[in-house]
Structure formats: C-alpha cells, structure tokens
Amino acid sequence: MHHTETIKIIQAESTDLEDIFELVRDLALYEKEPESVTTNLQEYKRCFDESVFEAILAKEGKKTIGMALYYTTFSTWKGRMIYLEDFIVKEEFRSKGVGTLLFNEFIAISKKKDAKLAKWQVLDWNTSAVNFYKKKGAEIEKNWWNGKMIF
C-alpha cells in the first residue's frame, strides 16, 4: 500500500524527459493508440528547451510514478489559459491519491500563472477519469468536437 506522504510533486527538468516520454507512451497504450506516438525524445528536448511545454512529476523516491504536462495558451473569450495536454499516473499507483496531488498542483500553478481557465480532453469511455474531473468540480463539455490536421 502506497501512502501519498511519501510522494513528492516536483517541477520537471530536462533530465526527466525520458521518464516523461515513457509515461506518454504508457498513456497512448492505455488509450489504445500506441502507434499514434510518432514523435521522439529529441523533439521533446528541443521543445522543452524552447519552453513550449512544462510538466510536474509525482515521484516516489527517485521513481517517476505520474505526471501532468501542460502549456500556456490563449482563450479569446477568457484570456490566458493553461492546457493540460497529458495527465497520467502509473497503473499500480492509481486510486491512491497521486492523481489528486498532481491535479491540485496543476490547478495551483495555473492560478499562479494568472490563467483564467484550465482546459483538457478526456476520452468518453474513460469513466474513471470523467468521474475524477467531475469530483474536482470540472465541467465536461460534450458539445465541442475536436478538429485536427496532422502534418
């Protein structure tokens, strides 16, 4: 049994990018789309060095057990917005409070950055994630569809 008091939430540094990339691949596997990860560690390093994204990590000792990866963007309706691109806790650490620690820190960071809102996506079939967000008081929109073009 893991207790959250042994878990620390830290700001990611460039030395953490391998762990982050591994977690992203875990998430893609969980979301049944492992073949959709077509980027690589070099792209992560380049974008991290250019401050394209930031991340916070949940660590137990030296082991990375979860993360929230986000970036600042803009809402024409609300103003500064923080977009939560990926949020994952390793399977064996789920339902133990790790996600709550990460999510609460993500929200605190968003407020500290003077964001007017935080936004993310959740898959419709991921009931536990939907319930997690609803418990936190989040709105889950169902009227917006995602558009994308892959280059």
The model carries a pTM of: 0.93
Tell me the domain boundaries of the chain. 4-135
Check residue 147 and give its pLDDT.
93
* Assigned token pair, 4: 């959250």
- pLDDT (mean) for 135-140: 95
Q: How confident is the model over 25-71, as pLDDT tens digits?
A: 999 998 999 999 999 999 999 999 999 999 999 999 999 999 999 99
Scanning the chain, the segments in alpha helix (DSSP H) are 17-30, 41-49, 98-112, 127-135
Q: Which residue, 39, 36, 34, is CA-closest to 53?
A: 39
Check residue 2 and give its pLDDT.
54
Whether pLDDT at 1 is above 70: no
Q: Is CATH 3.40.630.30 the classification given to domain 4-135?
A: yes
Cα separation values, 132 from 15, 50, 59, 91, Å: 30, 32, 21, 15
Residue 108 or residue 145, greater confidence: 108
Check residue 68 and give its pLDDT.
98
Q: How confident is the model over 86-133, as pLDDT tens digits?
A: 999 999 999 999 999 999 999 999 999 999 999 999 999 999 999 999
Confidence of residue 5 (pLDDT cuts 50, 70, 90): confident
Task: Of 15-19, 55-59, 144-148, give the lowest mean pLDDT range.
Answer: 144-148
Check residue 4 and give its pLDDT.
76
Distance in angstroms (rounded) separating the CA atoms of residues 114 and 129:
26
By the 8 A CB rule, do 85 and 53 touch?
yes
